[in-house]
Amino acid sequence: KQWYQRRVAITAGDPNGNGFLSLAEVDKGVRDVLGLDDIFDAKPAIMRAFQIAKNVTKSKSSVGDDYIEFKEFRYFLLSLRQYFEYYEAFSRIDAGDDKRIELEEF
**β partners of residue 21:** 68
Residue 49 scores a pLDDT above 80: yes
CA angle at 72 for the pair 66 and 75, rounded to the nearest 5°: 120
Q: Residue 64 — pLDDT band, cuts 50, 70, 90?
A: low
The CA distance from 55 to 66, in Å, is 8
Ramachandran angles phi, psi of 17, nearest 5°: 65, 25
Q: Determine the pLDDT at residue 62.
A: 67
Residue 5 scores a pLDDT above 80: no
Q: Residue 51 — pLDDT band, cuts 50, 70, 90?
A: very high
The CA distance from 49 to 100, in Å, is 20
Q: What is the dihedral of CA 77, 71, 28, 97, to 10 degrees?
A: 40
Confidence (pTM): 0.79
For residue 75, which of 51, 41, 42 has the smallest C-alpha distance? 51
